[in-house]
Amino acid sequence: MFRINENYLKLPGSYLFSTVGKKSKAYMDAHPDKKVIKLGIGDVTLPLSPTIIAAIHKATDEMAHKETFKGYAPDLGYEFLRSAISKEYAGRGAEIAIDEIFISDGAKSDSGNIGDIFADDTKIAVCDPVYPVYVDANAMSGRTGDYNPETQRWSSVIYMPCVSENGFAPEIPDEVPDVIYLCFPNNPTGSTITKSELQKWVDYANDNKAVIVYDAAYEAYISEDDVPHSIYECDGALTCAIEMRSFSKNAGFTGTRLGFTVVPKALKAGDVSVNSLWARRHGTKFNGAPYIIQRAGEAVYSPEGQKEISAMVGYYMNNAKIIREGLESAGYTVSGGVNAPYIWLKTPGSMTSWEFFDYLLENANIIGTPGSGFGPSGEGYFRLTAFGTYESTVEAMERIKKL
Ligand code: MLT
């Protein structure tokens, strides 16, 4: 008789954005006359930029001819893309070799899959609130202990509360973790830390033989000078950090799918190279991102591509400003939205995050994401994304101001 992975049965409810999607659809089906504005999941609304589209067309044409047709992509990624990424790191003072870069279909998959190479009894530490993939994926592998619906915490996870008192930045935990998940600029709070603060985490990880899984999916949104774009800007990060990056938010690839993970060769568990383990895992379970999309990724690094994507980021950051200022003038307490496309607001009065979700949907026809969906310390908070259109963002703020 077959048996299932019972760890899945311990998972509470459905994936956060599936729940938001289902609730929103139920409302829209029941009220087809309402113009609902979606500022929930961080999905982009601008089309791919001209240089990227041109690269996709060109690569598509190559696929139409015997001489230039491509079959399976190299499982770790095409050299042209890995080399463009390596050069970008060099521009930030980080020496990342081509064979330390693994091309994938996005940071979500990589951050969910990275746990495959760690021991079953690995103790993880996460920010609270946190992007739910890190915790759920570890729960699926049975490393998080038991879930307590009352505290909304897993018994074996080390939570690092990120609350207004600490500027939504994690503090070194009392118990030493094996794997530390950090995401900066942060999803969901939009907070960041300075390079010297990140350096403290790198030193701590090296001192304690822990590894940092660093999600830098939102680095393109950094506007302040002393905020690091990569953990490899810190000394010693090559021996303790894995970094994930995405093309979704900086270049609009949410529908085309492309990302990468850096696993430095200097990162070792005893004398075992973590880079080789990830190469083994990636080569076995992943057949390479599509050639056409990797060419599109390469175009992102061209001078024209860089100009276009920075205009795209500027467009979304203008939305972020509109949301921040709009909410502040409506009397909300707001953070984020300066180095990140997410705005984190305190729900009014004693409303819970889900109560505010319903309130905003029913009274302003706006969809956002309840903070408690990201973890217990997110209760009483709410996340809005700057990835809507300019017009819908302006309208959303007008509706909120009228509430
Ligand atoms: C989010 O809204 O948190 C993200 O868009 C989800 C994701 O990138 O998977």
DSSP string over 95-136: ---GGGEEEES-HHHHHHHGGGGS-TTPPEEEEES--HHHHH
With a Cβ cut-off of 6 Å, ligand 1 is lined by: 41-42, 108, 131, 187
Q: What is the pLDDT of residue 11?
A: 94
Cα(182)–Cα(194) distance, integer angstroms: 13
Q: What is the pLDDT of residue 135?
A: 97
Exposed, middle or buried by CB within 10 Å (0-12, 13-18, 19+), for 371? buried
Cα angle for residues 54, 247, 116 (degrees, 5° grid): 135
CATH of domain 7-47+306-402: 3.90.1150.10
List, by residue range, all CATH 3.90.1150.10 domains of the chain. Answer: 7-47+306-402
Q: How far is the CA of 345 from the centre of ligand 1 (A)?
A: 18
Closest Cα to atom 9 of ligand 1: 108
Q: What is the pLDDT of residue 13?
A: 80
Please say whether the beta carbons of 368 and 384 come within 8 A. Answer: yes
List, by residue range, all CATH 3.40.640.10 domains of the chain. Answer: 52-303
Place of tokens 């077959």: 2
Q: How far is the CA of 158 from the centre of ligand 1 (A)?
A: 22
Q: What is the pLDDT of residue 288?
A: 92
Q: Which atom of ligand 1 is nearest to the CA of 385?
A: 2
The CATH number for 52-303, chosen from 1.20.5.440, 3.40.640.10, 3.40.190.10, 3.30.300.30, is: 3.40.640.10
Cα angle for residues 293, 136, 99 (degrees, 5° grid): 40
Please say whether the beta carbons of 81 and 75 come within 8 A. Answer: no
Of 15, 16, 17, which is best to mutate to test ligand 1, by the most ligand atoms within 8 angstroms of its C-beta? Answer: 17
Please say whether the beta carbons of 176 and 143 come within 8 A. Answer: no
Mean pLDDT for each consecutive 10-residue tract of the chain (403 residues)?
Answer: 96 87 95 96 96 98 98 94 98 96 97 97 98 97 95 96 97 98 98 98 98 98 97 98 98 98 97 97 94 98 98 98 98 98 97 97 97 96 98 98 95
Tell how far CA 250 is from the center of its chain: 11
Q: What is the pLDDT of residue 47?
A: 98
Cα(93)–Cα(164) distance, integer angstroms: 33
